Amino acid sequence: MASNEPLDTLRESNSTQVNNGPRRPRILLAASGSVAAIKFGNLCNCFSDWADVRAVATQAALHFIDRTSLPKDLILYTDEHEWSTWSKIGDTVLHIELRRWADIMVIAPLSANTLGKIAGGLCDNLLTSIIRAWDYEKPIFVAPAMNTFMWTNPFTERHLMTVDELGITLIPPISKRLACGDYGTGAMAEPSLIFSTVRLFLESQPNAGNNNNNNHNNNSKNYSS
180 is catalytic: yes
Three-class DSSP category at 187: strand
For residue 89, which amino acid is it? Answer: I
> Using CA atoms, how far apart are residues 51 and 104, in angstroms rounded to an integer?
11
Per the residue annotation, which of 81, 95, 159, 216 is the catalytic one?
95
Is 44 marked active-site? Answer: no
Q: Are 210 and 24 a contacting pair, CB within 8 Å?
A: no
Q: Which residues contact 182 (CB under 8 A, 6 or more apart)?
A: 147, 148, 149
**150 phi and psi angles, rounded to 5 deg:** -70, -40
Spatial distance between the Cα atoms of 160 and 116, rounded to a whole number of angstroms: 9
Q: How many CB atoms lie within 10 A of CB 49?
A: 10
Going by the DSSP 8-state scheme, the letter that residue 85 receives in this structure is: T
* Residues labelled as active-site residues: 95, 180
